[in-house]
Amino acid sequence: MFRVRLITALILIAAFLGALFLLPEVYWAALMLAVACVGAWEWSALAGFTLPARRAYVALTLLAGIWLLPLPWPATALVWQQQIQLWTIFAAAVFWLLLAPVWLLKQYATNNAVVMACAGWLVLMPTWLALDDLRRVSPLLVLALMATVWIADSAAYFAGKRFGRHKLAPQISPGKTWEGVFGALAAVTLYGAVLCRMFHLSWWTLVGLWALTMLSIVGDLFESLLKRHAGVKDSGALLPGHGGVLDRIDGLTSTLPLAAFYAYFPLYYAALWDGQA
């Protein structure tokens, strides 16, 4: 199993890096939209949708995504597109900072299709938009942010395996421990220190990386809760040794939109200020 998992990981990393640094913008956005649609298919299964409802959910996700692709739309459409992107990211920030923690604390379970459909779009669409928007800033920024989540996840696994004694959320994900959390923070601190030294960044960058680490844990736990309610171990079987797409991007869904929200913050501030003027 470890060999299969390693081979799959190497293939995914090579394909992702090639796409991140080589694909033109519209092709990158389309590829990430395809990934989001696969995630929507898996999400709809976890939500307990019927097969026709799952197909409709993916179709709606695809149609909304196509309209938001960076294509030469008319000027009026582009203005609406930018506003939708901006406030979708804002909605994701509200969800992950306020709603998701309460959802986890209450271990909320619902069969309401509308609630689950909206929650799925709040998880998947802002992640896709953030991947597209942050890549426009710099592919290296996307890689650095994603590496933070990957390092945190790997360090949490190994630290928890070696030192884990105190359960983090036993009723949601019994394998996660507080020792794993501290291991993740320690590894990310080392990673952040290297970044700060290499690129002459402010040491306050570490605070941001710690926040991303904690957010990635929230995203991981959130998907674990959904899988527990659905009675499954993995969100899918697309990736040998890794499960489904949601299993690979759970920590990214809660971190990348927040990184984009931080990048957009002056625009939100300006909108709020103009609204009060």
**Residue 243 backbone dihedrals phi, psi, to 5 degrees:** 90, -130
**Is the pLDDT confidence value at 275 over 60?**
no
Amino acid (one-letter) located at 34 = A
Element (H, E) at 167: strand 167-169
Domain boundaries along the sequence of the chain: 2-276
- pLDDT confidence band for 277 (50 / 70 / 90): very low
- Report the distance separating Cα 16 and Cα 19, nearest Å: 5
- Segment of 3-17, 164-178, 254-268 carrying the highest mean pLDDT: 164-178
d(C-alpha 196, C-alpha 191), whole Å: 9
Task: Give mean pLDDT, residues 196-201.
Answer: 93
Which amino acid does the sequence have at 207? V
Cα–Cα distance between 17 and 128 in angstroms, integer? 16
* Per-residue pLDDT reduced to its tens digit, 35-94: 999 999 999 999 999 999 999 999 999 999 999 998 888 888 888 888 899 999 999 999
Give 114-119 contacts, CB < 8 A, sequence gap 24+: 116/43, 116/47, 116/48, 116/49, 117/44, 117/47, 117/57, 119/95
Alpha carbons 180 and 166: distance in angstroms, whole number: 9
**Phi, psi for residue 176 in degrees, rounded to 5:** -85, 135
Q: What is the pLDDT of residue 276?
A: 47
% pLDDT > 90, the chain = 78
Across 14-23, average pLDDT: 95
Tell me: pLDDT of 269 over 70: no
Average pLDDT over residues 251-273: 84
Round to whole Å and give the CA distance between 109 and 94: 20
CA distance 265 to 268: 5
Read off φ and ψ for residue 175, nearest 5 degrees. -80, -15
CA 69 – CA 133 distance, rounded (Å)? 11
Residue 21 pLDDT more than 80?
yes
